[in-house]
Amino acid sequence: MKSHECLRSWLFVYSFMNSASGTRITSIDLLKGLVMVIMALDHTRDYVHGASRLFSPTDPVHTTWAIYFTRWITHYCAPAFSFLAGTSAFLVSRRKSTKELSRFLFTRGLWLVFIEFTVINFAWFFDPYFRNPSLVTIWSLGISMIVLAALVYTPRWFILTFSILLICGHNLFDGVRLDGNVLWAILHRYEVFKLNAGYTFNVYYPVVPWIAVMSLGYWFGAFYDSAYDSEKRKKVLTITGLGFIALFMVLRLLNVYGDPTPWMSYDTLSKTLMSFLNPNKYPPSLLYLLMTLGPALIFLACSENLKGRVVNFFSTFGRVPFFYYILHIYLIHLIAMVMAQLTGFGWQKMICSTWVSNMPGLDGYGFKLWVVYLVWGGVVLALYPLCKRFDAYKMGHKEKWWLSYL
């Protein structure tokens, strides 16, 4: 599956900060906005790039560095989404009782699960029969919030221990396959279940260890408390981020634990490097999370004092992520329908009975990579005015409780 997960893929980070009063933390909004924009690149590639039907973009044997990077950079989306959702939840806890926060998390988690099965599943396929119910990014974030709703009653040491054990230890169960077991797939395994009458049930985002990524973000939220020194916070984030990257390098070089798919040595250094930098995402391995969360923490430390138009541009998306997430999928899919019609395949082919890259009748459809980037830029620029206006509306109508669900 792609990063429509993202994360593919994603998404999705709930905008807890929109419910909080006081000064917003720009670095959090900025990182959320950046990964939201990057996420749209991979989703555009799914629906527009011709090679997406031919081979995996991270397959060292067939891909190019341009295609590889287009996919690889989006690996950062889902982990950042989930982590920052937890961080933002902690900031909300400064204004709410534990009971209020737990209810806040639980209800929004249920809402996200509902939206995944309805609005978002329809966006991916445009299938009125809903023949591919899929557990993707929004589902994992919703379940993570529901679990966090219980964890907020526990001590901080327990939350940290729970997070570390789940993130570091879940790869111990990689050898437990249990083919055809839905519960095991939901917990720990990427699997597609073929049902009757052409229906499939797709578990793309097992909940472990995503629930621990969010709870780890919640634990880190304490460093953003107003009483915590900003310089100390930057130091903690930087050291932790560098530690994550160093641990990734050591474990990846050892090639013994931390990922179900060891990297391989190829006939060229370039292909070998591609394999080395492509840990497993479904479910996210320990190495995948170290590789993505490490740079994310360093970015948070380095971006606290950034200002300007570029920062404001990306932060706008970070303040209304759910709104942007839903709109961008529909817009990309609609553009793909137009492109299919104009190239002789017919718009009907984009009403998908399966994932778009596997749709019959689309052999030969698609465009070069530069077209993907052109469409991606157009999507982001087209959605910016809507996101900016919606952000202003939310800030001006904080009394409307239902806006916190958007």
Yes or no: say if 31 and 374 are a contact pair by the CB < 8 Å rule.
Answer: no
Confidence band of 198 (pLDDT split at 50, 70, 90): confident
Confidence at residue 102, expressed as pLDDT on a 0 to 100 scale? 96
pLDDT of 399 over the 90 cut: no
Rounded to 10°, the helix 26-48/321-342 angle is 20
For the chain, what are the domain ranges?
A: 16-405
pLDDT of 400 over the 80 cut: no
pLDDT of 4 over the 50 cut: no
Confidence at residue 402, expressed as pLDDT on a 0 to 100 scale? 72
pLDDT of 51 over the 60 cut: yes
Confidence at residue 24, expressed as pLDDT on a 0 to 100 scale? 65
| Nearest alpha-carbon partner for 52 in 375, 362, 380 | 362
12-27 residue pLDDT tens: 343 443 443 345 688 9
Yes or no: say if 137 and 81 are a contact pair by the CB < 8 Å rule.
Answer: yes
Distance between alpha carbon 287 and the CA centroid of its chain, in Å? 16
The mean pLDDT of the chain is 91
- pTM of the full predicted structure? 0.91
Integer Cα distance of 314 and 316 in angstroms: 5
- 194: enclosing H helix or E strand: strand 191-194
Confidence at residue 197, expressed as pLDDT on a 0 to 100 scale? 84
Q: What sign does the CA torsion over 350, 352, 355, 358 have?
A: negative
Yes or no: say if 180 and 203 are a contact pair by the CB < 8 Å rule.
Answer: no
Confidence band of 374 (pLDDT split at 50, 70, 90): very high
pLDDT of 50 over the 90 cut: yes
Percentage of the chain surpassing pLDDT 90? Answer: 83
Confidence at residue 18, expressed as pLDDT on a 0 to 100 scale? 42
247-261 residue pLDDT tens: 999 999 999 999 999
Mean pLDDT of 208-212: 97
Confidence at residue 11, expressed as pLDDT on a 0 to 100 scale? 36
115-161 residue pLDDT tens: 999 999 999 999 999 999 999 999 999 999 999 999 999 999 999 99
174-193 residue pLDDT tens: 989 899 999 999 999 999 99
pLDDT of 6 over the 80 cut: no
Mean pLDDT of 322-342: 97
Confidence at residue 17, expressed as pLDDT on a 0 to 100 scale? 39
DSSP string, 249-310: HHHHHHTSSS-SS-----SSHHHHHHHHT---TTTTPHHHHHHHHHHHHHHHHHSTT--SHH
pLDDT of 401 over the 80 cut: no
Integer Cα distance of 247 and 253 in angstroms: 10
